Amino acid sequence: MRTASGENVVVVENLVKDYTVPLPPKPGFGQRLRRVFAPEKGIKRALKGINLTVPRGQVLGFVGPNGAGKTTTIKILTGIIAPTAGNVSVLGFNPHRQRYEYTYHIGLVFGQRSLLWYDIPVIDSLKLYAEVYEVSREAFRRRLTRFAEILGIDEFLHVPVKKLSLGQRMRAEIAASLLHDPEVLFLDEPTLGLDAVAKEEIRLFLTETNKERGTTIFLTTHNMGDIEALCDRVVIIDEGTIIYDGTTEDLRNLEHEKHIDVEFLPVPGSSPLATGEAVAKSLALIQQYGVDSSQLATGRGTEARGHSLLPRKVRLRVPQEQSLEVVSLLLALGTVRDLNVAPPSLDAIIRRIYKGGLGDIVA
């Protein structure tokens, strides 16, 4: 029985998943011998009671370090594995118990695993999927035309999968998973190993699919470019627990700093506008906020600026409210060849979250 769950297409409550894992052998011959006949096993808790809802039409980025529980979550949501405890409902279905009916409504792409047949042309795999999902001939033709227009799959429809490039194969995989026009699309690392052009094509296609068809997209990735290009919302999971859940914009604002990169021209002397006090203040700032201020201490890669040493290139991480002041001081310090002021990348923010650097800010 499919149960209504409002506009939330995914509802997860207190989801727990345990895996059985072999325990490391204890020292001693007797212990090793015993292990041959009765290997010791332990329980590893991969998901520790996570709660999550995803509204219809949202593009959700589900990120986390390796072993955090991303793939386990996606496999539970797609009905591939059963949860140990907790409630899972997707589109009103219990994914594991109602797998047959449920899988008509979802699409799935694994970046590391192919859904296509290796030795035969792509078109034959697509025709098979059309039968599996009971797609009418007319709908099949229409969708194939769309995939050809946006994903360019017509170029390699009659080529065996084994002869495709990774980018082509991934485009074919996405076409296969969207052939039945699913309401929810689960993507597990879809851009893994792809070049910049292929990534861009896939992101564009997914964006259009979400906008035109209203498809809800649940994406796991390590690629922050995917998150920035596609996702309205980011959920970060670590060691089986959700540690952040918010919009991509809010995530970016977690870091109240700007990254300032400046490169000075190798001309002796400071800017004519710089006073002795300004030079001293700038150098102090570099000491305080420099990402790598060791150059100043060692004198390597630096040039004499009067009685002080100034690096040729400086990278600073400056509190947002001080960034303007710092920029003007840097401009006064020497002749600037290049200056870049930017918010920190999502990659940098998430890296800091993984390392616990924003531990007091996140959920």
Residues of this chain that bind another protein (CB under 8 A): 19-20, 66-67, 70-72, 75, 78-82, 96, 99-101, 103-104, 106, 108, 110, 112-113, 115, 117, 119-121, 124-125, 127-128, 131-134, 188-189, 220
C-beta closer to another protein: residue 19 or 354 = 19
CA dist 64 and 189 (Å) reads 12
Question: Could you tell me the maximum CA-CA distance found in the chain, to the nearest angstrom?
Answer: 82
Q: Provide, rounded to whole angstroms, the least separation between the CB of residue 188 and another protein.
A: 6
Q: Provide, rounded to whole angstroms, the least separation between the CB of residue 313 and another protein.
A: 38
C-beta closer to another protein: residue 97 or 313 = 97
Distances (CA, A) of 193 to 66, 164, 196, 202, 229: 16, 14, 10, 13, 17
> For residue 200, which phi and psi values (nearest 5 degrees)?
-60, -45
10 Å CB burial of residue 117 (0-12, 13-18, 19+) is middle
328, 359, 362, 348: which is closest to 257 by C-alpha?
A: 348
Q: Provide, rounded to whole angstroms, the least separation between the CB of residue 289 and another protein.
A: 37
C-beta closer to another protein: residue 37 or 100 = 100
Q: Provide, rounded to whole angstroms, the least separation between the CB of residue 123 and another protein.
A: 11
C-beta closer to another protein: residue 107 or 334 = 107
3 state SS of 270? coil
C-beta closer to another protein: residue 180 or 259 = 180
Q: Provide, rounded to whole angstroms, the least separation between the CB of residue 74 and another protein.
A: 8
C-beta closer to another protein: residue 61 or 290 = 61
CA dist 116 and 157 (Å) reads 12
Q: Provide, rounded to whole angstroms, the least separation between the CB of residue 132 and another protein.
A: 5
**Tokens representing 258?**
């700007």
